[in-house]
Each structure stands twice: as structure tokens, then as C-alpha cells.
Amino acid sequence: MTEKDRELPYYEPVGNEIDLFERAWRNHLPLLLKGPTGVGKTRFVVHMAARLGLPLYTIACHDDLTAADLVGRHLIGEGETYWNDGPLTRAVREGGICYLDEVVEARKDTTVVIHPLADDRRMLPIDRTGEMLRAPDSFMLVVSYNPGYQNFLKGMKPSTRQRFVSLRFDFPSAEVERSILVGETGCSEDVATRLVDIGRQMRVLKNVDLEEVASTRLLVYAARLIHDGMDPVEACSAVLVEALTDDEDVAEALLEVIRASFG
């Protein structure tokens, strides 16, 4: 790890994702990140923005997010109307990175906005002001979604997907996940090893007893509490059990796994 890497937001590479991101950015290509919740997609984007020295605008997409929320709108203040740029417009003007997290959750009219930015045009039309912004060379559009949550109502259209270079994220290997926990929290190798083992045992329960499983993010949370001096079983109960299930029988079964590792 170089001195520059130590100064950046912590991120543990698992493949060629850093190289791919930098090449996509240099070639003015938008990037699609896909993978389950809590495996590092957002942290990766934060790391890359800092690495490239670019401003980052992150938008957590949801059912009520409209094109106006991205582009901007007229507001009234002190007796007059003025235009207020949205985060997408600010990213374009400043030549930064705009990251739309869980993009398929947003309303469909947002697709109309991002299409001309996600192809050779690299343009952002602002209908309400009559502007047509051309994205500078440093601008990059990054979006993400969780394929596990997709259904026929909230899938990404092929016409949209084919505008992006795609990068798949998944749970890291046990070795990499241990390094993440130690590097992110300062916990001991022993604690990291035990937590990674617990996480892997819980992940085999997906679609059987659990709708969602222990993400790397949750393991990091547990490691932080343990490193702060909290009892490991209590920390794992609060972070890994209560966050994943409301079923008392399933919760007790998960606690047994935890007690077996830290008992």
C-alpha cells in the first residue's frame, strides 16, 4: 500500500475493479455496479472519487425520487423565484462523479434524464431553464442496484443497461473479508476470523430462514463494537441477529452459531 492509498477512504480491492473504474472514467464511460447490500459498492465509489480527486454527489434513490430531484427546480425566496441545481446538475457543472445508489428504485422519469448522459452525447438538458449542459471530461455517471431485489416492475431496462460498463460485486473471500474487518476497525485477527466464519454460516441460510444475510457492512459494525470493548455475543446479537430477523426461533438459532464461535 502506497502513502497515497493510506490517506484515502479505506477500501480493500477484491479484483480489477480499481483499474476498470479508472479506465471507464478516462474513456468517458458510465459505470453500473451490481451486487447485494453491504458488500462495498458505495465505499468503492467514495474511495475512487477521493483517489481521482473529484467531487462526489451521492443520491439514495427511492420510489418518490423524480427527475426534478436530480436536475433541480425553481424555488421561491425573499419574494423572488430562483433556480436551484439538483445534485446531478452540480456534478455535471463541476465535472465530478454522480452516484445513483439503487437506481431502479427511482421513478421512471429519471431514466429520461440519465440516458443522454450515459451515451456519446454526454448532455444534460434542463428543460425549465432552456440549458443544455455538456458534461466535461472529468464527469462520470455511476449507478448501482441489487439484482436480488429485482422484479418485473423494478428491473433495469436493457436499453438502459447497455449504456453502461458493468461491474459485479459479491461477498469477498474469507481472506479478503478478514482484511477488511481488521483494516476498517482495528480489531484483532482472531475476532475478524470468528466474525467472518459466523457470516459465512449465516449466508447459507438465505432464502431458507433469512431473506437477507449478514453483509460485510454488518460484520464491520460488529467488529467495531467488539473492538470498543463490548461483549462479542451481545455485539453480534444486536448487529447480526436483530438486524436480520424478527422470528424468535430463527434468532435463537443464530445466537447458537454466535455462542459456538465466541463461547
Q: Which of 95-109, 143-157, 205-219 has the lowest mean pLDDT?
A: 143-157
Encoded amino acid at 261, one letter = S
What does the pLDDT read at residue 218? 97
Overall pTM surpassing 0.85 (yes/no): yes
Computed from CA positions of residues 223, 200, 41, 100, in that sequence, does the dihedral angle turn out positive or negative?
A: negative
Kindly state the helix (H) or strand (E) to which residue 95 belongs, with its residue range.
none
- What would the mean pLDDT of 49-58 be, rounded to a whole number? 98
- What would the mean pLDDT of 43-56 be, rounded to a whole number? 97
Give residue 212's pLDDT band: very low, low, confident or very high (50, 70, 90).
confident
The answer to whether the beta carbons of residues 14 and 172 sit under 8 Å apart is yes
Packing angle of the helix pair 189-203, 216-227 (nearest 10 deg): 140
- What would the mean pLDDT of 24-47 be, rounded to a whole number? 96
- What would the mean pLDDT of 228-249 be, rounded to a whole number? 95
Strands 80-85 and 72-77: what pairing?
Answer: antiparallel
pLDDT for 166 beyond 70: yes
pLDDT for 150 beyond 60: no
What CATH number does domain 3-168 carry, 3.40.50.300, 1.10.3720.10, 3.40.50.1000, 3.30.2420.10? 3.40.50.300
Where are the domains positioned within the chain? 3-168, 174-262
| Three-state DSSP class for residue 213 | coil
- For the stretch 109-139, pLDDT in tens is 888 899 999 999 999 999 888 999 999 999 9
Q: What percent of the chain clears pLDDT 70, i.e. is strictly above it?
A: 94
Q: Distance between alpha carbon 98 and the CA centroid of its chain, in Å?
A: 12
pLDDT for 206 beyond 80: no
pLDDT for 215 beyond 70: yes
Q: Which three cell numbers stand for residue 119?
A: 451515451
- What would the mean pLDDT of 23-47 be, rounded to a whole number? 96
Could you give the residue ranges of the DSSP H alpha helices within 8-120?
Answer: 17-26, 41-52, 67-71, 87-94, 109-114
pLDDT for 181 beyond 90: yes
What does the pLDDT read at residue 153? 47
131 phi, psi to nearest 5 deg: -80, 155
